[in-house]
């Protein structure tokens, strides 16, 4: 019987959250299923883009938030 993998399975795989047995089965499927491999590659690119986007706010933004917060506490 062929196991069908979902996007949820692929996301767990990318974040190394799949149990070993399921991870090995998915890796086998990735070698023979071109569509699954392409979907996994797309998700990997998305993951990398998200990680790059997670940056710290600028000092200007941080100071603006602090100033706004202080102005609220004075009221």
CA angle in degrees (0–180, nearest 5) for 25-36-3: 40
Where along the chain do its domains lie?
7-73
Round the average pLDDT of the chain to a whole number and report it.
90
Each residue of 39-73: pLDDT tens digit? 999 999 999 998 877 777 888 999 999 999 988 87
> pTM to 2 decimals?
0.67
The alpha helices in the chain, defined as continuous H runs, are 7-14, 20-32, 34-53, 59-73
Q: How far apart are CA 45 and CA 72, in angstroms?
A: 41
What is residue 11's predicted lDDT score, i.e. its pLDDT?
96
């Amino acid at each position: 019987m062929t196991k069908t993998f979902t996007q949820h399975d692929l996301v767990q795989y990318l974040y190394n959250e799949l149990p070993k047995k399921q991870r090995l089965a998915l890796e086998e499927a990735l070698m023979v299923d071109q569509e699954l491999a392409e979907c996994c590659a797309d998700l990997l690119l998305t993951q990398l883009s998200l990680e790059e986007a997670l940056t710290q706010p600028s000092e200007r933004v941080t100071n603006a938030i602090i100033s706004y917060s202080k102005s609220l506490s004075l009221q």
